[in-house]
């Protein structure tokens, strides 16, 4: 893989901490001007970064700005958890690394106001811009919620 972690985080830094539609489009355009191997490498690093965050200690945190009608904490959905993990990645290397040492640093990214979904589409958009073709891709790591069996104690069978 040509994309180092340093290269990946340098590209992520261009988002200025947020995965907005505009910042992710700029990132996809920047990536599309690189060799296809870099686009693939970015996709691999991105999937791995999300996979590493796919852990019970993050996924069981409640959405910080929602409650159930009776006042209980509102659980994250699988999609919400994926988008929260994307938001953590978009926030940059130091934030991404810090959450592993302090779960509370992940909590703000569960907010309904904090959505990193646009980051998911960057590799596909970059590939399409670079080649003119849609990318039917798979990565070594699955970034879907609950795919990291080591991160979820009840999945370890």
What pTM value is reported for the model?
0.91
The pLDDT score that the predictor gives to residue 1 is: 53
> What is the spatial distance between Cα 52 and Cα 145, in angstroms, rounded to a whole number?
11
Helices marked H in the chain: 5-13, 21-32, 36-53, 56-59, 78-91, 93-99, 122-131
Section 126-142 average pLDDT? 91
Structure tokens at 10: 């340098």
> What is the spatial distance between Cα 98 and Cα 6, in angstroms, rounded to a whole number?
17
Domain boundaries, the chain: 5-145
The pLDDT score that the predictor gives to residue 125 is: 96
**How confident is the model over 27-43, as pLDDT tens digits?**
999 999 999 999 999 99
């Amino acid at each position: 893989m040509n994309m180092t972690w340093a290269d990946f985080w340098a590209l992520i830094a261009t988002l200025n901490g947020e995965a907005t539609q505009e910042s992710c489009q700029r990132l996809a355009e920047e990536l599309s001007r690189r060799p296809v191997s870099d686009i693939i490498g970015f996709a691999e690093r991105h999937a791995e970064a999300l996979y590493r965050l796919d852990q019970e200690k993050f996924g069981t945190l409640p959405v910080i700005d929602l409650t159930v009608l009776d006042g209980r904490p509102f659980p994250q959905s699988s999609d919400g958890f994926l988008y929260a993990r994307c938001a953590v990645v978009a926030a940059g290397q130091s934030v991404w690394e810090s959450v592993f040492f302090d779960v509370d640093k992940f909590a703000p990214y569960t907010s309904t106001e904090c959505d990193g979904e646009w980051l998911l589409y960057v590799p596909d958009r970059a590939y399409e811009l670079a080649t003119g073709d849609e990318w039917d891709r798979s990565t070594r790591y699955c970034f879907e919620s609950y795919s990291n069996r080591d991160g979820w104690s009840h999945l370890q069978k």
